[in-house]
C-alpha cells in the first residue's frame, strides 16, 4: 500500500541551516548536508530544502549545497525558494535535486508551471501555496513568503496549478504555521478532494496526533514539518510507529 510520507523541511540561509537545531542531543549551527543524512537514516521519506536567502551569491552557495546533498542522500528531495525560471530549475535539477517547489513566481505568472512541466516533466514540479483566511472567511494564496495577499482563492489556485502541470501541491496554512496547534484540517481536506495530484500538508504540527489527523481527517498524502523535528520534540521513528499503530500506512525504516 502506498505509504503516507513524512517530510522534514530545512530552512537554509547562506548555505547553513537556520534556527538553532537540536537533534539527538547534537546542536547543528551548521551543515544542512549532515542533518539531511541524519533525517534520511531516521526514516524521513523525503526532504525539502528551502533557500530563504535572495542574493545571487547565496544562490550559488545553495546550488553547491544541493550538489553535496545529492551525493550523499539516497531518498528524494525537493528544493525551493525564489525559483522563477527554467534556467534556475535546470541548475538545481542538474545539481541533483529531484523536484523543485515554486510559489510566488507561479502566482505572478502561472504560465511558468506549464513551461516547467513541459521542459522537465510534471513529476518534478511542486507548486507551493501559502494560505491564509481573509475577513470574508475564505482561504487565499499569499505571495512573497506570506507577506502579500492575492485575490486567488486557494482551492481554485490548486486546481489551476494541477491543470497547468504541477505534479504535487505543497499547502501551508499560515494561520497554523508555528502554532503547534495542528494542521488546517478542513482546508487540507477541501484541497485534497478538489485535486487528483498528491497533496503535502504543512503548518501547525505539534504532536503525533496532529500527523494522524492530517492523514485521516485532512486526506493529505504527505505531511511536512520543521521545528518539531529539528528540536527533537517528535522523533521520526516514534512518529512512524505511532502512525502504524493507528492503522496509517507508513514506511518503517529498513
Partner 1 sequence: MEVVIIKYNAGNVQSVQYALDRLGVRAVWSDDPATIRGADRVIFPGVGAAKPAMAYLKAAGLDDVIRGLKQPVLGICLGLQLFCTHSEEGDTDCMGILPNSVRKFVPCGGQKVPHMGWNTLTTRSGLLFEGVASDAYFYFVHSYYATEGASTVGSTDYLLPFSAALAWDNFYAVQFHPEKSGAVGQRVLQNFLFG
**Residues forming the active site:** 11, 130
Nearest of 106, 116, 97 to residue 50 by alpha carbon? 97
Beta carbon nearer to partner 1, 124 or 174? 124
What whole-number distance in Å separates Cα of residue 18 and Cα of residue 50?
Answer: 10
Beta carbon nearer to partner 1, 96 or 110? 96
Instruction: Report helix, strand or coil for 62.
Output: helix
Instruction: Please identify which residue in the block is written with the cell numbers 513551461.
Output: 115
What's the N-to-C CA distance of the chain in angstroms?
16
209: exposed, middle or buried (C-beta count within 10 Å: 0-12, 13-18, 19+)?
Answer: exposed
What whole-number distance in Å separates Cα of residue 176 and Cα of residue 181?
Answer: 7
Residue 94 burial (CB count, 10 A)? 12
CB of 252 to partner 1, least distance (A): 8
CB of 137 to partner 1, least distance (A): 26
Rule CB under 8 A: which residues touch partner 1?
A: 1-5, 40, 45, 70-72, 74-76, 94-96, 98, 120-124, 167-168, 192-193, 195-199, 219, 221-222, 251, 254
CB of 218 to partner 1, least distance (A): 12
CB of 174 to partner 1, least distance (A): 24
Beta carbon nearer to partner 1, 93 or 234? 93
Beta carbon nearer to partner 1, 81 or 167? 167
Instruction: Tell me if 12 sits within 8 A of 52, measured CB to CB.
Output: yes
Q: How many CA within 13 A on the CB side of residue 213? A: 16
Instruction: Please identify which residue in the block is written with the cell numbers 504527505.
Output: 222
Amino acid at each position: 500500500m502506498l505509504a503516507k510520507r513524512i517530510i522534514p523541511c530545512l530552512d537554509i540561509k547562506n548555505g547553513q541551516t537556520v534556527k538553532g537545531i537540536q537533534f539527538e542531543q547534537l546542536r547543528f549551527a551548521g551543515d544542512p548536508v549532515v542533518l539531511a543524512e541524519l533525517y534520511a537514516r531516521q526514516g524521513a521519506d523525503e526532504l525539502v530544502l528551502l533557500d530563504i536567502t535572495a542574493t545571487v551569491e547565496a544562490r550559488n552557495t545553495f546550488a553547491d549545497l544541493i550538489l553535496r546533498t545529492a551525493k550523499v542522500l539516497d531518498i528524494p528531495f525537493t528544493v525551493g525558494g525564489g525559483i522563477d525560471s527554467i534556467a534556475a530549475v535546470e541548475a538545481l535539477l542538474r545539481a541533483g535535486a529531484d523536484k523543485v517547489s515554486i510559489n510566488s513566481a507561479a502566482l505572478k505568472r502561472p504560465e511558468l508551471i506549464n513551461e516547467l512541466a513541459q521542459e522537465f516533466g510534471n513529476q518534478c514540479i511542486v507548486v507551493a501555496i501559502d494560505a491564509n483566511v481573509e475577513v470574508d472567511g475564505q482561504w487565499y494564496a499569499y505571495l512573497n513568503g506570506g507577506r502579500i495577499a492575492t485575490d486567488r482563492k486557494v482551492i481554485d489556485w490548486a486546481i489551476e496549478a494541477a491543470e497547468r502541470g504541477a505534479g504535487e501541491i505543497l499547502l501551508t496554512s499560515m494561520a497554523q504555521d508555528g502554532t503547534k496547534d495542528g494542521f488546517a484540517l478542513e482546508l487540507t481536506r477541501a484541497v485534497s478532494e478538489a485535486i487528483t495530484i498528491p497533496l503535502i500538508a504543512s503548518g501547525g504540527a505539534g504532536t503525533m496526533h496532529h500527523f494522524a489527523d492530517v492523514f485521516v481527517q485532512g486526506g493529505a498524502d504527505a505531511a511536512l514539518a520543521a521545528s518539531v523535528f529539528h528540536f527533537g520534540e517528535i522523533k521520526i521513528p516514534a512518529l512512524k510507529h505511532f502512525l502504524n499503530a493507528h492503522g496509517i500506512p507508513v514506511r518503517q525504516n529498513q
